[in-house]
Structure 1
Amino acid sequence: MTTPITAATASTEIDHRPGSKFPEIDVFADVYVRPGNELIKSLHATMVEKSQLVLQESASQLPSDTPIESMDPLEDSKNQVTALTQEVAGLRSELASYNYLESRERRSQESREF
Protein backbone atom coordinates (compact mmCIF):
# COMPACT_ATOMS: atom_id res chain seq x y z
CA MET A 1 0.00 0.00 0.00
CA THR A 2 1.33 3.43 -0.90
CA THR A 3 1.45 6.21 1.64
CA PRO A 4 -0.58 9.21 0.43
CA ILE A 5 1.34 12.44 -0.04
CA THR A 6 0.44 14.89 2.71
CA ALA A 7 1.83 18.26 3.70
CA ALA A 8 4.19 16.48 6.10
CA THR A 9 5.54 14.03 3.50
CA ALA A 10 5.38 16.29 0.44
CA SER A 11 8.86 17.75 0.89
CA THR A 12 10.45 14.30 0.63
CA GLU A 13 8.26 13.15 -2.27
CA ILE A 14 8.46 16.10 -4.66
CA ASP A 15 11.25 16.40 -7.23
CA HIS A 16 13.20 19.59 -6.52
CA ARG A 17 14.64 20.11 -10.01
CA PRO A 18 13.72 23.30 -11.88
CA GLY A 19 10.63 22.95 -14.05
CA SER A 20 7.26 21.51 -13.23
CA LYS A 21 6.49 20.98 -9.54
CA PHE A 22 4.13 18.10 -10.31
CA PRO A 23 5.89 14.83 -9.45
CA GLU A 24 4.07 12.78 -12.11
CA ILE A 25 4.19 15.32 -14.96
CA ASP A 26 7.68 16.71 -15.39
CA VAL A 27 7.93 16.86 -19.19
CA PHE A 28 8.89 20.55 -19.12
CA ALA A 29 11.97 19.89 -17.00
CA ASP A 30 13.01 16.89 -19.08
CA VAL A 31 12.69 18.69 -22.42
CA TYR A 32 13.31 22.39 -21.96
CA VAL A 33 15.22 22.94 -18.73
CA ARG A 34 18.40 20.99 -19.19
CA PRO A 35 21.54 22.06 -17.33
CA GLY A 36 23.01 24.92 -19.35
CA ASN A 37 19.97 24.87 -21.69
CA GLU A 38 21.77 22.35 -23.94
CA LEU A 39 18.65 21.37 -25.88
CA ILE A 40 17.60 24.95 -26.52
CA LYS A 41 21.13 25.90 -27.60
CA SER A 42 21.27 22.92 -29.94
CA LEU A 43 17.92 23.73 -31.56
CA HIS A 44 18.90 27.39 -31.90
CA ALA A 45 22.23 26.48 -33.51
CA THR A 46 20.44 24.19 -35.98
CA MET A 47 17.94 26.91 -36.92
CA VAL A 48 20.70 29.51 -37.37
CA GLU A 49 22.71 27.12 -39.54
CA LYS A 50 19.70 26.31 -41.72
CA SER A 51 18.73 29.97 -42.06
CA GLN A 52 22.29 30.73 -43.22
CA LEU A 53 21.97 28.01 -45.86
CA VAL A 54 18.67 29.48 -47.05
CA LEU A 55 20.24 32.96 -47.31
CA GLN A 56 23.26 31.60 -49.19
CA GLU A 57 20.97 29.80 -51.64
CA SER A 58 18.95 32.99 -52.14
CA ALA A 59 22.10 35.05 -52.69
CA SER A 60 23.50 32.55 -55.21
CA GLN A 61 20.47 33.09 -57.44
CA LEU A 62 21.02 36.86 -57.71
CA PRO A 63 23.53 38.71 -59.91
CA SER A 64 26.81 39.40 -58.08
CA ASP A 65 26.39 43.20 -58.37
CA THR A 66 23.04 43.21 -56.51
CA PRO A 67 23.21 45.56 -53.48
CA ILE A 68 22.59 43.84 -50.15
CA GLU A 69 19.83 46.34 -49.32
CA SER A 70 17.74 45.15 -52.24
CA MET A 71 17.93 41.49 -51.28
CA ASP A 72 14.62 40.06 -50.17
CA PRO A 73 14.30 36.37 -49.30
CA LEU A 74 12.68 34.45 -52.11
CA GLU A 75 9.17 33.10 -51.56
CA ASP A 76 10.58 29.59 -51.72
CA SER A 77 12.95 30.48 -48.87
CA LYS A 78 10.02 31.52 -46.71
CA ASN A 79 8.39 28.15 -47.39
CA GLN A 80 11.62 26.36 -46.44
CA VAL A 81 11.82 28.27 -43.15
CA THR A 82 8.18 27.44 -42.42
CA ALA A 83 8.78 23.76 -43.18
CA LEU A 84 11.88 23.71 -40.95
CA THR A 85 9.98 25.40 -38.13
CA GLN A 86 7.25 22.77 -38.37
CA GLU A 87 9.87 20.02 -38.43
CA VAL A 88 11.51 21.37 -35.27
CA ALA A 89 8.11 21.61 -33.56
CA GLY A 90 7.41 17.99 -34.48
CA LEU A 91 10.80 16.89 -33.17
CA ARG A 92 10.22 18.75 -29.91
CA SER A 93 6.89 16.98 -29.53
CA GLU A 94 8.46 13.57 -30.20
CA LEU A 95 11.26 14.30 -27.75
CA ALA A 96 8.78 15.41 -25.10
CA SER A 97 6.79 12.19 -25.52
CA TYR A 98 9.93 10.06 -25.40
CA ASN A 99 11.30 11.83 -22.32
CA TYR A 100 7.94 11.63 -20.57
CA LEU A 101 7.71 7.88 -21.15
CA GLU A 102 11.34 7.38 -20.16
CA SER A 103 10.85 9.42 -16.98
CA ARG A 104 7.68 7.52 -16.15
CA GLU A 105 9.43 4.18 -16.63
CA ARG A 106 12.33 5.34 -14.45
CA ARG A 107 9.93 6.37 -11.66
CA SER A 108 8.11 3.06 -11.98
CA GLN A 109 11.38 1.15 -11.61
CA GLU A 110 12.39 3.28 -8.62
CA SER A 111 9.06 2.66 -6.89
CA ARG A 112 9.46 -1.11 -7.41
CA GLU A 113 12.88 -0.98 -5.76
CA PHE A 114 11.44 0.40 -2.52
Structure 2
Amino acid sequence: MEARRKEGSKFPKIDVFADVYVRPGNELTESLHATMVDKSQLVLQESASQLSSDTPIESVDPPEDAWFHIVTETLDLTFGQRPGTYCRGMGNVKRWESRASSSSQSKG
Protein backbone atom coordinates (compact mmCIF):
# COMPACT_ATOMS: atom_id res chain seq x y z
CA MET A 1 0.00 0.00 0.00
CA GLU A 2 2.88 2.32 0.73
CA ALA A 3 4.09 1.87 -2.86
CA ARG A 4 0.63 2.86 -4.12
CA ARG A 5 0.69 5.96 -1.90
CA LYS A 6 4.12 6.92 -3.23
CA GLU A 7 2.77 6.53 -6.78
CA GLY A 8 0.18 9.16 -5.90
CA SER A 9 -2.86 6.98 -5.38
CA LYS A 10 -5.63 8.74 -3.45
CA PHE A 11 -7.22 5.38 -2.56
CA PRO A 12 -4.41 2.82 -2.18
CA LYS A 13 -6.62 0.30 -0.37
CA ILE A 14 -9.01 0.21 -3.31
CA ASP A 15 -6.02 -0.31 -5.63
CA VAL A 16 -4.83 -3.17 -3.43
CA PHE A 17 -8.33 -4.69 -3.64
CA ALA A 18 -7.79 -4.86 -7.39
CA ASP A 19 -4.32 -6.36 -6.97
CA VAL A 20 -5.59 -9.06 -4.64
CA TYR A 21 -9.05 -9.94 -5.96
CA VAL A 22 -9.47 -8.85 -9.57
CA ARG A 23 -8.47 -11.52 -12.06
CA PRO A 24 -9.03 -11.55 -15.83
CA GLY A 25 -12.44 -13.00 -16.60
CA ASN A 26 -13.80 -12.55 -13.07
CA GLU A 27 -16.68 -10.24 -13.93
CA LEU A 28 -17.88 -9.85 -10.34
CA THR A 29 -14.60 -8.53 -8.93
CA GLU A 30 -14.00 -6.42 -12.04
CA SER A 31 -17.44 -4.87 -11.58
CA LEU A 32 -16.89 -4.32 -7.84
CA HIS A 33 -13.57 -2.59 -8.48
CA ALA A 34 -15.01 -0.45 -11.27
CA THR A 35 -17.82 0.66 -8.95
CA MET A 36 -15.29 1.50 -6.22
CA VAL A 37 -13.22 3.54 -8.67
CA ASP A 38 -16.32 5.42 -9.85
CA LYS A 39 -17.34 6.17 -6.26
CA SER A 40 -13.81 7.31 -5.40
CA GLN A 41 -13.91 9.77 -8.31
CA LEU A 42 -17.22 11.12 -7.02
CA VAL A 43 -15.67 11.59 -3.56
CA LEU A 44 -12.75 13.49 -5.09
CA GLN A 45 -15.10 15.67 -7.12
CA GLU A 46 -17.19 16.41 -4.03
CA SER A 47 -14.07 17.27 -2.04
CA ALA A 48 -12.82 19.49 -4.87
CA SER A 49 -16.16 21.30 -5.06
CA GLN A 50 -15.64 22.51 -1.51
CA LEU A 51 -12.35 24.17 -2.46
CA SER A 52 -11.66 27.07 -4.79
CA SER A 53 -12.65 26.52 -8.40
CA ASP A 54 -9.05 26.61 -9.66
CA THR A 55 -7.94 23.71 -7.42
CA PRO A 56 -6.92 20.75 -9.62
CA ILE A 57 -8.52 17.44 -8.63
CA GLU A 58 -5.04 15.87 -8.47
CA SER A 59 -4.24 18.00 -5.43
CA VAL A 60 -7.43 17.11 -3.54
CA ASP A 61 -7.09 14.76 -0.59
CA PRO A 62 -10.18 12.67 0.21
CA PRO A 63 -11.39 12.20 3.79
CA GLU A 64 -9.24 9.65 5.61
CA ASP A 65 -11.98 7.01 5.95
CA ALA A 66 -13.58 7.55 2.54
CA TRP A 67 -12.10 4.31 1.20
CA PHE A 68 -13.83 2.34 3.99
CA HIS A 69 -17.22 3.84 3.18
CA ILE A 70 -16.72 3.23 -0.54
CA VAL A 71 -15.76 -0.42 -0.06
CA THR A 72 -18.47 -1.25 2.49
CA GLU A 73 -21.18 0.54 0.52
CA THR A 74 -20.18 -1.27 -2.68
CA LEU A 75 -20.07 -4.67 -0.99
CA ASP A 76 -23.31 -4.05 0.95
CA LEU A 77 -25.13 -3.06 -2.24
CA THR A 78 -23.85 -6.16 -4.02
CA PHE A 79 -24.16 -8.77 -1.27
CA GLY A 80 -26.60 -7.12 1.14
CA GLN A 81 -26.11 -6.19 4.76
CA ARG A 82 -26.01 -8.75 7.52
CA PRO A 83 -27.44 -8.22 10.99
CA GLY A 84 -25.03 -7.04 13.64
CA THR A 85 -23.46 -3.91 14.97
CA TYR A 86 -20.26 -2.15 14.07
CA CYS A 87 -17.64 -1.91 16.78
CA ARG A 88 -14.92 0.68 16.98
CA GLY A 89 -11.57 -0.04 18.54
CA MET A 90 -8.92 -1.91 16.63
CA GLY A 91 -10.12 -0.55 13.29
CA ASN A 92 -13.61 -0.99 11.90
CA VAL A 93 -14.86 -4.49 12.65
CA LYS A 94 -18.34 -5.86 12.45
CA ARG A 95 -19.51 -7.86 15.48
CA TRP A 96 -21.99 -10.55 14.54
CA GLU A 97 -24.80 -11.15 16.97
CA SER A 98 -25.60 -14.79 17.54
CA ARG A 99 -29.10 -15.91 16.68
CA ALA A 100 -29.69 -17.11 20.26
CA SER A 101 -28.92 -13.71 21.80
CA SER A 102 -31.05 -11.81 19.31
CA SER A 103 -34.00 -14.19 19.74
CA SER A 104 -33.72 -14.08 23.54
CA GLN A 105 -33.68 -10.27 23.34
CA SER A 106 -36.87 -10.22 21.31
CA LYS A 107 -38.60 -12.57 23.80
CA GLY A 108 -37.45 -10.61 26.83
Q: TM-score w.r.t. structure 2 length?
A: 0.40
> Computing the radius of gyration over CA atoms, which structure comes out larger, 1 or 2?
1
Higher strand proportion: 2
TM-score with structure 1 setting the length:
0.39
Q: Where is the helix percentage greater, Structure 1 or Structure 2? A: 1
